[in-house]
């Protein structure tokens, strides 16, 4: 892949921002990467690791002369950040983000863009349970999917550039309406994460005589099931606040299904239990087959 | 490890029974393994794979002359099976099981034993999302834990033999009161499995426009979180029926925590959300560190 971004600024130098910088540098897709962060220590770490070529804690200074800006901050900071940097952006620059919620964020960011600068909402579906620039690595996006959420006002060239960037680092790009994205993610990602957090809380609150054993005998199911409960609390707080409507809808659907399940257990209704378990197993197996096929 | 079981009979030749047979054979711990199953095809498969040395579909015939009998059937079949084989057991034989629920099952099995034959309740905490003898493998129990649930009536020698068997295949054995076992497992295993099944059901029932995308964009969280929803439906039905009380208690605790969480999302209470997410992350990280340390 030929060098195609002269200067990239990454605001919010964590797992995602750091991994994109590493991946683009490794493929010689980018001339210079500037890191911007509130905390200096992440930036110094980023320099040490060779993830960035320069840094500043001042966002306006950081975006000066940048052809592309990736806002990879926690979700609640995206719009304020974009508003702050707007006056410093170079005409022709393209701004994108990596937020797990789109909807209103995309509208607000688009509205904040000065003449000749374009915003394209983006969501790379990738991550580990670790966070921070020290956890970043160049192959994070290989085999992943990235959802871009263009609107009627998105410039074609800008969408194309952001598409090329994510494809260059090994991600498969698809586009989706911002609100639709939020519903889909509430179901596939936000609900599972919240249920994992919830289950860990439930277990933590057990009485002492059971609890001490509970964690000693945590079966492999617990390990898998709760891996996502090790995710960054700030990120998940922000997701809950920004995607409230879709998340509440999913929690309510889940709660109704839980009531049904509880009823079958209470009534000793083995037939209904077997039916629902068999259906869930079949659905999951079908989904993962489709997913595997869809990836390659 | 020296050869120490002349004849082992495995009733219910699936993942667990098959893996124990393989592991004991590989270590030359057993002279002869006889498989007993309702379906002939599993037994033929077991012969083909070298997991067993002989088989029968008649449990009473199967246990004739056996020094040790492992009942590895679905949970609901353990007590009926033990009652059927009781008259055929050789004096001095030891019977154990591999059920995920103990409690009443242990009491009923003990009561069914003829003079001079002992039952020891057991639960190897191991498994994959695959089932059947064809999924069995000799290293399944390496690094696992096995809980044995002796009671006041359990003979020391019998407990010792069953302990040696599980330790021989790489499992770490601990003992626990049968009822306490059921509470601990309801928390660490049964609740997570039921929530995984429930989430898959919730997603399956979404309206078409969202659902088609939901499964295409199933993030890695979904994959991990729902792995356990691919488990055997009959096994999970039986667990729900046999451990009803402890499971209902856990579902209710989970439901109360879910109500709290829902309230914080609805109210946009970012502080409470952040607190609970941070606590859950810290708890999980602490637990897995302890678990890792505990294993070696």
- From chain B, the residues in CB contact with A255 under 8 A are 255, 258, 262
**pLDDT surpasses 90 at B154:** yes
Per-residue pLDDT, B2: 55
CB spacing of A264 vs B240 below 8 angstroms: yes
d(CA B20, CA B131) in angstroms, rounded, equals: 14
- The residue of chain B nearest to residue A244, with distances taken between CA atoms, is B265
CB spacing of A188 vs B218 below 8 angstroms: yes
**CB nearest to A251's CB, from B215, B229, B262:** B262
**CB nearest to B258's CB, from A176, A251, A274:** A251
- From chain B, the residues in CB contact with A223 under 8 A are 288, 291
pLDDT digit string, tens, across residues B60-78: 999 999 999 999 999 999 9
**pLDDT surpasses 60 at B262:** yes
CB spacing of B187 vs A203 below 8 angstroms: yes
Q: What percent of chain B has pLDDT over 70?
A: 93
Q: If you average pLDDT over residues A171-184, what whole number do you get?
A: 95
pLDDT digit string, tens, across residues B2-21: 568 999 999 999 999 999 99
Per-residue pLDDT, B179: 94
Q: What are phi and psi of A278, to 5 degrees?
A: -65, -40
- From chain B, the residues in CB contact with A183 under 8 A are 210
3-class DSSP state of B187: helix
User: Comparing C-alpha atoms, which of A103, A106, A148, A140 is closest to residue A123?
Assistant: A148
- From chain B, the residues in CB contact with A264 under 8 A are 240
- The residue of chain A nearest to residue B281, with distances taken between CA atoms, is A230
CB pairs under 8 A between A and B: 290
Please give the helix or strand (H or E) that residue B217 lies within, else none. Answer: none
**Average pLDDT score, chain B:** 91
Residue A139 makes CB contacts below 8 A (sequence gap 6+) with: A23, A170
pLDDT digit string, tens, across residues A276-293: 999 988 888 777 765 555
- The residue of chain B nearest to residue A252, with distances taken between CA atoms, is B262
Q: How close, in Å, is residue B99 to chain A by CA atoms?
A: 15
Q: How close, in Å, is residue B183 to chain A by CA atoms?
A: 7
- From chain A, the residues in CB contact with B265 under 8 A are 240, 244, 247-248, 251
- From chain A, the residues in CB contact with B252 under 8 A are 262
Per-residue pLDDT, A294: 46
- From chain A, the residues in CB contact with B258 under 8 A are 195, 198, 251, 254-255, 258
Task: Identify from B233, B275, B282, B295 which residue to disrupt to test chain A contact, counting A C-beta atoms within 10 A and taking the largest count.
Answer: B233
User: Domains of chain A (ranges plus CATH)?
Assistant: 5-176 (3.40.50.720), 180-295 (1.10.3660.10)
pLDDT digit string, tens, across residues A205-239: 887 777 777 777 665 566 766 777 778 899 899 99
**pLDDT surpasses 60 at B291:** no
Query: What ipTM is given for this predicted complex?
Result: 0.85
Per-residue pLDDT, B213: 78
- The residue of chain A nearest to residue B147, with distances taken between CA atoms, is A217
Per-residue pLDDT, A56: 97
Task: Identify from A239, A284, A291 which residue to disrupt to test chain B contact, counting B C-beta atoms within 10 A and taking the largest count.
Answer: A284
d(CA A185, CA A99) in angstroms, rounded, equals: 11
| Between residues B131 and B123, the one the model is more confident about | B123
- The residue of chain B nearest to residue A231, with distances taken between CA atoms, is B281
| Between residues A33 and B230, the one the model is more confident about | A33
**pLDDT surpasses 90 at B220:** no
Residue given tokens 């037939």 in the structure block: A271
pLDDT digit string, tens, across residues A7-64: 999 999 999 999 999 999 999 999 999 999 999 999 999 999 999 999 999 999 999 9
Q: How close, in Å, is residue A149 to chain B by CA atoms?
A: 14
Q: How many residues does chain B have?
A: 296
Q: If you average pLDDT over residues B153-168, what whole number do you get?
A: 96
Q: What are phi and psi of B122, to 5 degrees?
A: -140, 155
CB spacing of B219 vs A187 below 8 angstroms: no
- The residue of chain B nearest to residue A225, with distances taken between CA atoms, is B225
């Amino acid at each position: 892949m030929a060098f195609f971004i002269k200067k990239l600024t990454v605001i919010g130098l964590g797992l995602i921002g750091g991994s994109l910088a590493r991946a683009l540098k490794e493929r010689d897709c980018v001339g210079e990467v500037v890191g911007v962060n509130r905390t200096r220590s992440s930036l110094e770490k980023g320099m040490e690791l060779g993830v960035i070529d320069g840094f500043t804690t001042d966002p306006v200074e950081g975006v000066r002369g940048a052809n592309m800006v990736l806002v990879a901050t926690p979700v609640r900071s995206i719009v304020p950040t974009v508003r702050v940097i707007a006056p410093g952006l170079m005409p022709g620059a393209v701004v994108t983000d990596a937020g797990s919620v789109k909807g209103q964020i995309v509208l607000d960011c688009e509205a904040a863009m000065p003449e000749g600068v374009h915003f394209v909402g983006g969501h790379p579906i990738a991550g580990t349970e670790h966070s921070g620039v020290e956890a970043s690595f160049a192959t994070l996006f290989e085999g992943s999917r990235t959802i871009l959420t263009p609107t009627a006002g998105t410039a074609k060239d800008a969408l194309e550039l952001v598409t090329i960037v994510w494809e260059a680092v090994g991600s498969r790009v698809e586009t989706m309406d911002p609100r639709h994205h939020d519903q889909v993610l509430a179901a596939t990602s936000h609900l599972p994460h919240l249920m994992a957090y919830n289950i860990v809380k439930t277990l933590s609150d057990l009485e002492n005589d059971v609890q001490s054993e509970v964690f000693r005998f945590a079966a492999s199911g617990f390990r898998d099931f709760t891996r996502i409960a090790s995710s960054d609390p700030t990120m998940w707080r922000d997701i809950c606040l920004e995607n409230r409507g879709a998340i509440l809808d999913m929690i309510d659907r889940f709660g109704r299904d839980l009531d049904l399940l509880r009823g079958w257990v209470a009534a000793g209704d083995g037939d209904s239990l077997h039916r629902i378990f068999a259906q869930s197993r079949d659905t999951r197996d079908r989904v993962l087959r489709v997913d595997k096929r869809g990836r390659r």
